[in-house]
Structure 1
Amino acid sequence: MKRTASIKKNKTFLIILVFLLLSTISLLFTHIGKPVMYRGDDIYFHLSRIEGISEGIKNGLFFQKINYFFLHGMGYASPIFYSDLFLYPAGILRCLGISISNTYIIFLWSINFLTYLLAYQCFRYYKKIDYQAFLFAVLYGGASYRLSDLTERAAIGELLSFMFIPLAFIGLWSIFFEEKQKYYILSIGMACLIFTHVLSAFIFSIFIFFYLIMNLTTLMKNKKRLFALLKAVGLTVLLCLGFLLPIVEQTFDQSFNFQVNQVAKMSDFTHTIPEYIKIALVNSGVNNLGILIFLLFMLLLVRFNALLTDSKKLFLITFLFLVSSTSLIPYRLLEDTFINSVQFPWRFFVIVTFGVCWLFADNIDRLFKRQTLNKMLLFGSITLATGLLILHGLFISDTSRYVSREEVEAIPQNFLGWGMEYLPFKTDYFEVIEEPRRILNSDNVSLQNVSFEYGGIDLYYSTKKSNEEAKIILPYIYYKGYKATVDGEPLEVNNSSVVPGLCEVNVTDSGNLKMKYHWTTLQIVSFILSLLSWLTLVISLGYKKIKKKTA
């Protein structure tokens, strides 16, 4: 008995050690092992998010709705539209005095390790066979498209979503085929996807739709499973209310760039399968599915009849997502539909990657009748995955992206992401950033004792004539939630009619004007409801676990 426990302990230690090693290797040649770092597409946007969290904490603000690191203190509502929840560990590291470049590296390394670990645990929950769980984790964590998110794209949101897709999947699988009362696993997985990357959550929702269609008879035969799925949807909404409702509130108050202007047209980024294979052979690029995934997909296709029945359904869904990433779909006809919100068709690779890795690991013992061949596939795929992981960092194509640590530390505060999606519509970005601290006012009003504080302003004004109205345009991007007072009395804050996108107040006579952002009533109520939902869920699960142990 002791020997069995010792073997199990040693095996667990070795698995963790391998995951730690692989997590390090994936960053060794692009972030750690050189005096320079690879500057991915969105690196400065995410570094700014981290810096904003750090500044907020230092000023006593947790879960702030406006990030004031952006635009030299003028603020950007990225936390409202793009949850910062999973960036807080990085923000805390910055508060401890760790440089932003080292914070970023530690954060990426942590994401890597947790992705491997969670992938292993999720597969092991599904099928309690250690070597298959290990195979899935190694293939999935080292998948080329995930490495593209890690390095070339610096797409932190999508990178984080990779961590939670296996969790959401086993929650979905549990509802359909296992313990339906564990529907909360799907809710937790989906909530985490929403908190990390809304587009990935949307893509996985499409996956759920196809999964439901493929397994509709299972739900129809057992209405309790259908009810469990509906409960999972309801619980997901409750868990995410504090994030979802503030988005709705802001979009009802005014229009934003992401609502009016298309960030990208999917039709402009489509490729054929041969083109994707060519990219995979180079093993570099923002849309690199990876040659190993292509090889495993072809193997699964050839050995389709050997797959488990449920695996065949998952393979068909994976195939649909692969086709959806290509020019075979007429995306030009879908430019004005919600599908275009995905922006890039190769985002569907996240499902293709998951599907292929899961299917291969799940069926590794049945692809061929001769177990010797299956063992060769097992060791060969792990070896190739590890080799491609190393080669990806060693021979990255665009070497001009390597920059010094000093350049990484000098974060451009004006970079809002390529689409500047969360700016109010009609905001003239270049006019706004020309003089970030400039206050504009009517000729009939003078300003004195102007002082800026974190996320706010305090000044004294006086109009030339009594009862004459004057405009003051304050250097903060307008979002619902800004509140102003004059000598303690509330004053309405609006989106400026003179300089659209900035905060504007109309004043009379004279007085002391103060303006600062405050959580709206809806933000407070929705946050409390979400917090109570999470607490209720955690307490309920804890109680069930204690009850099970004492039974």
Structure 2
Amino acid sequence: MKKFFANKKYLIIGVLALELVLLVVNALRFYRHEEISFISDDMILSYYDEASGTTVTEPGFYADHSSKPESVVYTPDVFLKKGIYSVTIDCSSNGGTWHTNYSTLLASGDPTTAQSANLVSSDHAAIPSGDTSTSNLSWVHYGTNFTVRMGPETDATGDDLYVLVNSVTITYMAGMTVLHETAKFFFILLLIDLVLFLYLFKKKETAEYLNKKAYVIAGMIFIIFFSSFMLFYRKIYFGDDIFYHLRRIAFLAEGLKSGQFPVKIQSGWDNDYGYAVGVGYGDVFLYPSAILVLLGFSVQFAYKFYIFLMNVLTAWISYHTGKRVSQNDYIALLCAGFFTLNGFRLQAVYTGATVGEYGAYTFLPMVVLGLYDIYTREKKYGYITLAFGIALVVSNHVITPYILAFTIPLFCLLMIEKTIKKPVLLDLFKACGLTFLTSAFFVVPLLDYFEDMRGNDYSDILWERGHEMVTIFTEVADKSKDSGGWAGIGYGFIAIMALGIAIAISGKFKEKTSVYIRVVLFNAFLFYMCLNNKVYFIFKDRLPGVFEHFAEIQYPWHILDIVAAITIFILAASLKEITKEEAGKSVALITGAIILMTCIYHGGELYKETSLEANPFTMFDKTSLRANFDAEFIIPGRDEGLTSSETDMVIRDENTQATASLISRHALNLTAQVDNPTGETVTVEAPLWGYRYYAAKGNGRKLATYRADSFKLAIDVPAGFSGTITIKFTEPWHWRLAELASLAAFIFWGYKMFKYKHA
């Protein structure tokens, strides 16, 4: 036995074999069949008895405040073990929302209104009018008694609403639970394996690294923890765009499950009619979250994971950029702290919920670093860093790269004497070419569909959509009290800019003084363009054509993303010069303390405002996300009412004998039975919006597809046809070619980085 533990090879085999056994045993532990059904006679009615002044219960399946105040219907208590359950309710209702007329699974033994014991994760699922059946998933965390609650909210918001419950079925989702629990256990074992590997094979190197980087690691842990603080709440707080992006995650998972990759048109949106969000919005970094949904994790968890992933990447990339410029770990740590924890970014994450914007924000330091390397010639691969920085920005957001398309040429013009030098100019052209190749997977479909989508309509009063100087630095409460409000870039920005100006005019940058003064002034100009000012009005008045394109940025404060990235460059470059002198180290320490304390102050104020004022909600399941949603990438002119009135195949010719009906539907993959006994071609419309590149087949032959006058997908069915037709979205060859080009470019990037690192 001693020999076994001494031999690392045997030990590894033994550990892996044990882990495999544990995974199998854990999976079998959750494999069971379970289904509980209740009929209307089983239901319990709870209501407030005005005569006795108490809440009473009695048999009943109809809740209506007009007859019985505060009435709600419950199922009898039922013991549920740990696992994922589907709760299906057969009922009728006159409508309401998820907070006025809803169903949810409650732990019977937890009397707290907020279910604070956290024994189950279950949405407040709306019971809409017109639907006879609703179904939602619930995650039971601990085996105990549960009940399904159905009906109006007990306060005045539930008045004039009713629910009549016919039956309730609680079904244990064995396959999903096994997959979910196995995935969780696998990740735990993977973490244990990593620790064992470092201990057994890299003990000395790990100890040396931890000893050398102890303070840096501690600082990064604090930055990531503070930026992720709001994720520890068992609910999520409302943010302006949160439901839009929850849809993206939920229906990206649905698309993957149906076999579509990449998922350019997502099902689910507009009651399963589909939405081309994958064409108009980069979603590369949402795929890990979508995979988590497929592994049985909730949409809420997947959304929180995305935030955590972006927090880690933001801190690491900004640290790396600061380290490259300053050659100092602690200056780099300060750069990471400001870039990750400034109020503007935290409000984007938690109160704006602008997933695309703060995703793009993460990679902007790479753009700055790429330009730095190209102009200073410090590294040979500056053009690669620049290209992939822009490509990763494009992979997250549309507006941020649009701003870069204006700001990078302005910077190059500002540095014209360096820009026209052959090595710099050559690298800039190489970066342009590589940027297009790496972004082709997104840009080509976007340009192809550009005329098919509505776009945004924020192009008229740009000078009113910025911020005032008095609000650009600090917090502003949300007047509607729905979210935590706005937070600006923070007073630390003033300290950094003042420091940059002081170092520049003192001549400490020596022969580069002119360059750094221009960088500081350029950043100040971009900051000014975040404010409400007359420049935008003059811009529109004198150059209306150019203004119309620039106004696609929607809100001027989006430019703060670029400002923050340049600011950490100024911080790193300035502190690098200061710390060369002994006295300057004290200045650097004081400056760093001021910057971090302002970030922590603004972040804390934003967190406090969010926790006190923002609306918390659950959103564990994706069912309630299927409602109509009008956004940029939808087909203009569509009739939203069709999504509820025409959920099956439709033939508009009322005089034809042809018939068509859906047999099955899996995301955007439809199968329908169509019979056309007539001697003429019949047009059938599917319950899908008519985006291009859908394909239809029937009896082994392709059928013509196009956009109908109703903006739905139309299929021409030939005379005498009888059989099933299949419909699915298929990417055209030039989209696939663009994806291959981007893949080749990413491989090239990896090869070059490996080569330069080991040169």
Determine the C-alpha separation between the residues in 1 that align with 2:637 and 2:437.
Answer: 34
- The match for 1:381 is 595
Q: Structure 2 vs 1, CA of residues 98 and 263 (structure 1 numbering), >3 Å: closer, same or farther?
A: farther
Determine the C-alpha separation between the residues in 1 that align with 2:439 and 2:253.
Answer: 23
Determine the C-alpha separation between the residues in 2 that align with 1:279 and 1:331.
Answer: 25
Contact 1:74 1:477 in 2 (8 A): yes
Secondary structure, counterpart of 1:503 in structure 2: strand
Contact 1:35 1:404 in 2 (8 A): no
- The match for 2:344 is 145
Pair 1:331-2:528 in alignment: no
Determine the C-alpha separation between the residues in 1 that align with 2:642 and 2:502.
Answer: 58
Pair 1:346-2:557 in alignment: yes
- The match for 2:643 is 433
Q: Shift of residue 265 of structure 1? A: 4.7
The Cα offsets for residues 281-323 of structure 1, whole Å up to 9 and x where unpaired, read as 9996346232332454355456651373233222111111111
Contact 1:207 1:317 in 2 (8 A): no
1 or 2 for the larger relative contact order (CA 8 Å, sep ≥6)? Answer: 1
Secondary structure, counterpart of 1:506 in structure 2: strand
Which one of 262, 273, 276 corresponds to residue 63 of structure 1?
262
Q: Structure 1 stretches of 5 or more lacking a match?
A: none
Q: Structure 2 vs 1, CA of residues 288 and 67 (structure 1 numbering), >3 Å: closer, same or farther?
A: same
Pair 1:447-2:659 in alignment: yes
Relative to total residues, which structure has the larger strand share, 1 or 2? 2
Pair 1:10-2:181 in alignment: no
What's the Cα RMSD here? Answer: 2.9
Q: Shift of residue 133 of structure 1? A: 0.8
Determine the C-alpha separation between the residues in 1 that align with 2:660 and 2:621.
Answer: 38
Contact 1:463 1:508 in 2 (8 A): yes
Secondary structure, counterpart of 1:161 in structure 2: helix
The one-letter code matched in structure 2 to 1:266 is L
The Cα offsets for residues 141-170 of structure 1, whole Å up to 9 and x where unpaired, read as 101111111011111111111211111111
- The match for 1:290 is 490
Which one of 465, 470, 475 corresponds to residue 274 of structure 1?
470
Pair 1:26-2:237 in alignment: no
Q: Structure 2 stretches of 5 or more lacking a match?
A: 1-202
Q: Shift of residue 493 of structure 1? A: 1.2
Secondary structure, counterpart of 2:296 in structure 1: coil
- The match for 2:417 is 217
Which one of 727, 741, 746 corresponds to residue 529 of structure 1?
741
Contact 2:314 2:362 in 1 (8 A): yes
Q: Structure 2 vs 1, CA of residues 302 and 163 (structure 1 numbering), >3 Å: closer, same or farther?
A: same
Q: Structure 2 vs 1, CA of residues 257 and 286 (structure 1 numbering), >3 Å: closer, same or farther?
A: farther
Secondary structure, counterpart of 1:76 in structure 2: coil
The one-letter code matched in structure 1 to 2:468 is T
Q: Shift of residue 224 of structure 1? A: 1.7
- The match for 2:716 is 506
- The match for 2:607 is 393
| Within-5 A mapping of 1:88-99 | 88-99=287-298
Q: Shift of residue 351 of structure 1? A: 1.7
Determine the C-alpha separation between the residues in 1 that align with 2:418 and 2:696.
Answer: 57
Determine the C-alpha separation between the residues in 2 that align with 1:295 and 1:541.
Answer: 35
Contact 1:74 1:436 in 2 (8 A): no
Which one of 237, 249, 256 corresponds to residue 38 of structure 1?
237
- The match for 1:134 is 333
Identical-residue share of aligned pairs (%):
19
Q: Shift of residue 388 of structure 1? A: 2.8
Contact 2:299 2:619 in 1 (8 A): no
Q: Structure 2 vs 1, CA of residues 544 and 402 (structure 1 numbering), >3 Å: closer, same or farther?
A: same
Determine the C-alpha separation between the residues in 2 that align with 1:263 and 1:82.
Answer: 19
Q: Shift of residue 40 of structure 1? A: 0.8
Which one of 285, 288, 293 corresponds to residue 86 of structure 1?
285
Determine the C-alpha separation between the residues in 1 that align with 2:336 and 2:476.
Answer: 20
The Cα offsets for residues 418-444 of structure 1, whole Å up to 9 and x where unpaired, read as x6111112122x223333623321221
Determine the C-alpha separation between the residues in 2 that align with 1:533 and 1:405.
Answer: 41
Which one of 686, 691, 695 corresponds to residue 479 of structure 1?
691
- The match for 2:452 is 255
The one-letter code matched in structure 2 to 1:482 is Y
Determine the C-alpha separation between the residues in 2 that align with 1:116 and 1:542.
Answer: 23
Q: Structure 2 vs 1, CA of residues 366 and 116 (structure 1 numbering), >3 Å: closer, same or farther?
A: same
Structure 2 length as normaliser, TM-score? 0.65
Relative to total residues, which structure has the larger helix share, 1 or 2? 1
Secondary structure, counterpart of 2:526 in structure 1: helix
Secondary structure, counterpart of 1:257 in structure 2: coil
Q: Structure 2 vs 1, CA of residues 88 and 5 (structure 1 numbering), >3 Å: closer, same or farther?
A: closer
Determine the C-alpha separation between the residues in 2 that align with 1:288 and 1:265.
Answer: 21
Q: Structure 2 vs 1, CA of residues 119 and 291 (structure 1 numbering), >3 Å: closer, same or farther?
A: same
- The match for 2:678 is 465
Determine the C-alpha separation between the residues in 2 that align with 1:43 and 1:264.
Answer: 26
Determine the C-alpha separation between the residues in 1 that align with 2:435 and 2:577.
Answer: 36
Greater displacement, 83-92 / 5-14: 5-14
Q: Structure 2 vs 1, CA of residues 353 and 236 (structure 1 numbering), >3 Å: closer, same or farther?
A: same
Q: Structure 2 vs 1, CA of residues 297 and 70 (structure 1 numbering), >3 Å: closer, same or farther?
A: same
Contact 1:132 1:362 in 2 (8 A): no
Greater displacement, 122-131 / 145-154: 122-131
The one-letter code matched in structure 1 to 2:349 is L
Which one of 413, 416, 437 corresponds to residue 626 of structure 2?
413
Q: Structure 2 vs 1, CA of residues 298 and 83 (structure 1 numbering), >3 Å: closer, same or farther?
A: same
Contact 1:26 1:390 in 2 (8 A): no
- The match for 1:404 is 617
Determine the C-alpha separation between the residues in 2 that align with 1:518 and 1:408.
Answer: 28
Secondary structure, counterpart of 2:747 in structure 1: helix
Secondary structure, counterpart of 2:610 in structure 1: coil
Structure 1 length as normaliser, TM-score? 0.88
Determine the C-alpha separation between the residues in 2 that align with 1:144 and 1:436.
Answer: 46
Q: Shift of residue 189 of structure 1? A: 0.6
Q: Shift of residue 328 of structure 1? A: 1.7
Pair 1:114-2:310 in alignment: no
Which one of 361, 376, 383 corresponds to residue 572 of structure 2?
361
Q: Structure 2 vs 1, CA of residues 49 and 109 (structure 1 numbering), >3 Å: closer, same or farther?
A: same
Q: Structure 2 vs 1, CA of residues 406 and 278 (structure 1 numbering), >3 Å: closer, same or farther?
A: closer
Determine the C-alpha separation between the residues in 2 that align with 1:146 and 1:236.
Answer: 26
Q: Shift of residue 177 of structure 1? A: 0.8
Q: Shift of residue 415 of structure 1? A: 5.6
Contact 2:249 2:302 in 1 (8 A): no
Q: Structure 2 vs 1, CA of residues 85 and 415 (structure 1 numbering), >3 Å: closer, same or farther?
A: farther
Determine the C-alpha separation between the residues in 2 that align with 1:362 and 1:312.
Answer: 12
Secondary structure, counterpart of 2:240 in structure 1: coil
Determine the C-alpha separation between the residues in 2 that align with 1:407 and 1:294.
Answer: 41
Determine the C-alpha separation between the residues in 2 that align with 1:180 and 1:233.
Answer: 18
Contact 1:280 1:290 in 2 (8 A): no
Determine the C-alpha separation between the residues in 1 that align with 2:574 and 2:401.
Answer: 27
The one-letter code matched in structure 2 to 1:519 is E
Greater displacement, 93-102 / 4-13: 4-13
Contact 1:31 1:38 in 2 (8 A): no
The Cα offsets for residues 51-80 of structure 1, whole Å up to 9 and x where unpaired, read as 122222323333122111322322111111
Secondary structure, counterpart of 1:439 in structure 2: coil
Q: Structure 2 vs 1, CA of residues 185 and 356 (structure 1 numbering), >3 Å: closer, same or farther?
A: closer
Secondary structure, counterpart of 1:471 in structure 2: strand
Q: Which has the larger radius of gyration?
A: 2
- The match for 1:228 is 427
Q: Shift of residue 449 of structure 1? A: 5.3
Q: Structure 2 vs 1, CA of residues 189 and 26 (structure 1 numbering), >3 Å: closer, same or farther?
A: same
Which one of 386, 390, 401 corresponds to residue 186 of structure 1?
386
Q: Structure 2 vs 1, CA of residues 73 and 296 (structure 1 numbering), >3 Å: closer, same or farther?
A: same
